[in-house]
């Protein structure tokens, strides 16, 4: 028996006058992608500072403390600029809503900013207690006791804040992944499994790069290790995400987002390899740090652009819904 051919072709996908089904996310360049980069870098820098302090790498710890504080402050300023009015960020701190990623994220960011700034009291008061030299070159006198007391108070407070930032650091580095995944944007929502690992790896690569560039090479070994591990995690997570998403991974492979993600992958992989072989070579360290920084930025720009592209094209919203309906009916 021969099988009859369908006379009517399968209907093509159409939406209402080709308009998007959901509203695309609204954000401004370079504010939001750079904020995501700085927040991740700040969070991992805090973790690196804690580990360096506990293992006796005080020079690296000092660099990481400064990077964490600078990243948190700059990121908060960019977020305020993105919101249009700074008081909007303060309004989000009026309540704490555990079921809202935006509310939890606001409190995490505020805690990270305060703790990382307070942690600077450690390196700023790391010198031996005592007064400043007098004109005759001798120390002591009336200024010695107050300076010693100040040193004895501020440094423990700075170290306590640093230890606390070891808790807020990993949350700051990854909460933005939860924030974007908890939306209706197809390319973000369906990537909820891999985005935290992708953001964490990108943040590790960025923080390692900054500490590599800001620390003398003889003390920067642990920073290079963090950078290499971060580059590996980011690369693997990105590949797994795009393969698992299949059809919904198209926005990460096509258009402007695709170009950004391919550039990020090349820069991150190249920077990670250079960090692994740089040793104490200043030239290779600089090249590696710049490549990893640029790669991390491209990743953030690419992810946001892929989300916007998937929201603008209605097929990424409707086709998966139809597939789920057919699978349920079968």
The CATH H-level (homologous superfamily) assignment of domain 30-126+154-328 is Formate dehydrogenase/DMSO reductase domain (1.20.1630.10)
Q: Which position has the higher pLDDT, 88 or 237?
A: 237
pLDDT in tens, 170-186: 999 999 999 999 999 99
Output the pLDDT for position 158.
87
Domain boundaries, the chain: 30-126+154-328
**Residue 299 corresponds to which tokens in the numbers above?**
């990743």
pLDDT category at 322 given cuts 50, 70, 90 is confident
Separation between Cα atoms, residue 79 and residue 86, nearest integer Å: 8
C-beta atoms surrounding 183 within 10 Å: 16
In the chain, what percentage of residues exceed pLDDT 90? 62
- pLDDT tens digits, one per residue of 95-146: 888 888 778 888 999 999 999 999 998 666 555 433 334 444 444 445 455 6
Mean pLDDT lowest for which of 44-58, 67-81, 142-156, 290-304? 142-156
Q: Is the pLDDT of residue 83 over 70?
A: yes
Estimate to the nearest angstrom the gap between the alpha carbon of 260 and the chain centroid. 16
Give the pLDDT score at 20.
Answer: 73
Q: Give the model's pLDDT for residue 161.
A: 94
User: What's residue 139's pLDDT?
Assistant: 45
pTM, two decimal places: 0.85
* 45-74 per-position pLDDT tens digit: 999 999 999 999 999 999 999 999 999 999
- As a whole number, the mean pLDDT across the chain is 86
Q: What is the pLDDT of residues 14-53, one digit of tens each?
A: 555 667 778 888 888 889 999 999 999 999 999 999 999 9
Q: What percent of the chain has pLDDT over 70?
A: 84
Is the distance from CB of 196 to CB of 174 less than 8 angstroms? yes
Q: How confident is the model at residue 4 (pLDDT cuts 50, 70, 90)?
A: low
Q: Where are the alpha helices (DSSP H) in the chain?
A: 31-54, 58-83, 87-91, 101-118, 121-124, 144-181, 186-189, 195-214, 221-245, 250-253, 255-278, 282-312, 315-329
Q: Report helix angle 315-329 to 282-312, nearest 10.
A: 70
Residue with tokens 């360096």: 52
Q: Residue 313 contacts by C-beta under 8 Å, 6 or more apart in sequence?
A: 20, 251
* Angle of helix 144-181 versus helix 58-83 axis, rounded to 10: 50
At 263 the pLDDT is 98
Average pLDDT estimate for 225-234: 97
Report pLDDT for 88.
Answer: 76
Residue 194, pLDDT score = 97
**Is the confidence at residue 284, as pLDDT, over 70?**
yes
pLDDT at 227 over 90: yes
Q: Which pLDDT score is estimated for 105?
A: 84
> Counting beta carbons within 10 angstroms of the beta carbon of residue 46, is it exposed (0 to 12), middle (13 to 18) or buried (19 or more)?
buried
Cα separation, 196 vs 204, whole angstroms: 12
CA angle, residues 246, 251, 253, in degrees to nearest 5: 75
> What is the per-residue pLDDT for 202?
98
For every residue of 163-214, DSSP letters joined together read HHHHHHHHHHHHHHHHHHHSSS-HHHHTTTTTHHHHHHHHHHHHHHHHHHHH
**In the predicted structure, residue 294 carries a pLDDT above the cut 80:** yes
Report which of residues 87 and 133 the model is more confident about: 87
Q: Which residue has the tokens 């960090």?
A: 275
- What is the per-residue pLDDT for 122? 66
Q: Does residue 8 surpass a pLDDT of 50? A: no
């Amino acid at each position: 028996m021969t099988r009859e051919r369908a006379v009517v072709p399968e209907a093509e996908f159409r939406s209402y006058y080709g308009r998007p089904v959901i509203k695309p996310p609204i954000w401004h360049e370079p504010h939001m992608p750079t904020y995501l980069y700085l927040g991740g870098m700040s969070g991992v820098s805090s973790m690196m500072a804690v580990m360096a302090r506990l293992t006796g790498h005080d020079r690296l710890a000092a660099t990481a403390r400064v990077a964490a504080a600078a990243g948190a402050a700059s990121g908060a300023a960019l977020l305020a600029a993105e919101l249009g009015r700074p008081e909007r960020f303060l309004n989000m701190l009026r309540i704490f809503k555990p079921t809202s990623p935006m509310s939890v994220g606001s409190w995490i960011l505020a805690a990270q900013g305060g703790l990382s700034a307070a942690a600077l009291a450690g390196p700023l008061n790391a010198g031996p207690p005592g007064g400043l030299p007098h004109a005759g070159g001798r120390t002591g006198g009336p200024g010695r006791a107050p300076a010693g007391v100040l040193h004895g108070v501020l440094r423990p407070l700075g170290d306590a804040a640093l230890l606390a930032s070891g808790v807020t650091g990993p949350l700051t580095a990854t909460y933005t992944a939860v924030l974007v995944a908890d939306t209706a944007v197809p390319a973000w929502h369906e990537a909820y499994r891999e985005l935290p690992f992708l953001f964490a790896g990108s943040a590790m690569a960025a923080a390692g790069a900054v500490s590599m560039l800001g620390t003398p090479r003889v003390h920067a070994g642990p920073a290079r290790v963090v950078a290499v591990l971060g580059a590996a995690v980011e690369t693997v997570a990105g590949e797994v995400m795009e393969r698992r998403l299949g059809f919904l991974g198209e926005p990460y492979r096509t258009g402007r987002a695709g170009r950004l993600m391919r550039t990020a992958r090349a820069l991150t992989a190249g920077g990670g390899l250079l960090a692994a072989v740089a040793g104490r070579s200043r030239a290779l360290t600089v090249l590696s740090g710049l490549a990893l920084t640029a790669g991390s930025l491209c990743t953030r720009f690419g992810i946001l652009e892929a989300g916007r592209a998937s929201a603008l094209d209605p097929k990424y919203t409707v086709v998966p819904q139809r597939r789920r309906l057919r699978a349920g009916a079968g």
